[in-house]
């Protein structure tokens, strides 16, 4: 059996838009950078929290990407919602 070079969940396609939102906690500012990626199956959005307004490695609009992503699910207003996240996640802790 051949071992794949990459495994996991990947979002492949073209970055068609980027969005950045600021969140302030006391004197600390964090940014949620969202990429909108158009693939053969549709347009998906993937979020990343960062201390920088433009994290290193953020693809430009028009770039073709193969982003390793993680998926999470939560319930809000009685509805199940899923979220794709890309890049390093520094909002949690290992245990």
Cβ pair 43, 12 in contact under 8 A: no
- Asked whether residue 28 is domain-assigned, the answer is yes
Task: Check which CATH number belongs to the domain holding 69 and give it.
Answer: 2.40.50.140
Give the model's pLDDT for residue 78: 92
For the stretch 24-81, pLDDT in tens is 988 899 999 999 999 999 999 999 999 999 988 899 999 999 999 999 988 989 999 8
- Asked whether residue 15 is domain-assigned, the answer is yes
**Residue 53: phi, psi to the nearest 5?**
-65, -30
Rounded CA gap, 75 and 84, in Å? 15
| Domain count for the chain | 1
Cβ pair 11, 65 in contact under 8 A: yes
The residue segments making up the domain with residue 76 are 9-86
Give the model's pLDDT for residue 8: 81
- Asked whether residue 1 is domain-assigned, the answer is no
Rounded CA gap, 87 and 46, in Å? 10
- Asked whether residue 3 is domain-assigned, the answer is no
Tell me the whole-structure pTM to 2 decimals. 0.79
β partners of residue 76: 79
């Amino acid at each position: 059996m051949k071992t794949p070079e990459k495994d996991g969940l990947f979002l492949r396609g073209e970055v068609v838009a980027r969005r950045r939102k600021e969140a302030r906690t006391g004197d600390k500012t964090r940014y949620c950078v969202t990429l909108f990626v158009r693939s053969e199956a549709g347009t998906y959005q993937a979020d990343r929290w960062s201390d920088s307004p433009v994290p290193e490695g953020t693809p430009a609009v028009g770039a073709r990407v193969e982003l390793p992503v993680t998926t999470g699910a939560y319930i809000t207003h009685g509805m199940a919602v899923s979220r794709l996240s890309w890049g390093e996640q520094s909002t949690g802790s290992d245990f």
